[in-house]
Amino acid sequence: MGTVGKAISLLELFTVDQSELGLSDLARRSGFDKATTRRLLVALTARGFIEQDATTRHYRLGAGLSRLARIREARFPFLQTAVPLVRDLATTTAETVHLSEFGIDRLVTIHVEHPARANRVNVDIGQLLPMHSTASGIAYLAFARDETVKACLAGPLDVFTAHTLTEPDAISRSMSEARERGYSISDQGLEEGVISVAAAILAADGFALGTIAVAAPKSRTTAADIAQRGLAVVAAAREISMRLNGDNLQTLRRQA
């Protein structure tokens, strides 16, 4: 591994739970010599990729990363790109369509289109969706990094309804099915009487970045509706992924 790779793998030791680490700790976790670790940290600190706490002497991720990430995001306008397609999908399905982006350990709802009818599923912008019990969550996990999947299924999995899946095996099976057919289905996993389909929106690296989902009252939803919405949601997700990544989207090689 080159020096650059080593420096980056130091950065990757930081997680939400382990957001501040000491020198010896970093050396141990990375497997690099303490002197090497320190030299890398100094180089990273000089460019603002790492900050050091003045009192504890511990290291944390720096503001330089945020700056570059924002430059990237300025060019990578997820919301702007996706909203027109969310709107189209809402028109054709006449049901609630919502768009989510992954944040830390849940999906964050960043846009919603509601149909103009009284009996509908209501979703709010900013609402957080659990990963294991929503169509969006399963669709995301089906195309997420292994470590992300592991992290999301590690914690206690809340039970929301009698239909909520909490067995890791059952959840894995849902993910496999989602990978095969392209979209996930959640039958009242989060709320009684609500059935949803969702598809993952992929980043250029082939991993999921967010999801688009259609949620409807189960009472008026047939199996044919589900299949039709599934295809529509996959088409929308594909289109968003393509507009975001150009034709540069790498297909994710993945064990089924």
Partner DNA sequence: AAATAATGGTTCAAATAATGAACCGACATC
Partner DNA sequence: GATGTCGGTTCATTATTTGAACCATTATTT
Interactions with a copy of itself, residue window 182-241 (CB under 8 A): 203-205, 207, 209
Interactions with DNA, residue window 28-57 (CB under 7 A): 32-36, 38-40, 52, 57
Does residue number 218 form part of the binding site for DNA (CB under 7 A)?
no
Does residue number 108 form part of the binding site for a copy of itself (CB under 8 A)?
yes
Does residue number 73 form part of the binding site for a copy of itself (CB under 8 A)?
yes
What residues have CB less than 8 Å from 255, skipping those under 6 apart? none
Shortest distance (Å) from residue 9 CB to a copy of itself = 7
Place of tokens 């967010």: 210
Q: What Å distances lie between residue 31 and 15, 28, 61, 151, CA to CA?
A: 17, 5, 19, 22
Shortest distance (Å) from residue 22 CB to DNA = 2
Shortest distance (Å) from residue 179 CB to DNA = 30
Place of tokens 């964050």: 108
Q: What Å distances lie between residue 145 and 9, 81, 248, 253, CA to CA?
A: 16, 24, 19, 12
Number of residues that bind DNA (CB under 7 A): 19
Shortest distance (Å) from residue 32 CB to a copy of itself = 13
Stretch that binds DNA, among 18-26, 86-94, 101-109, 166-174 (CB under 7 A): 18-26
Query: Which phi and psi angles does 50 have, rounded to 5°?
Result: -135, 145
Identified binder of DNA from the candidate list 8, 13, 23, 153, rule CB under 7 A: 23
d(CA 48, CA 29): 22
Stretch that binds a copy of itself, among 66-74, 171-179, 216-224, 232-240 (CB under 8 A): 66-74
Shortest distance (Å) from residue 73 CB to a copy of itself = 7
Stretch that binds a copy of itself, among 14-22, 159-167, 211-219, 228-236 (CB under 8 A): 14-22
Binding residues (CB under 7 A) for DNA: these are: 2-4, 6, 22-25, 32-36, 38-40, 52, 57-58
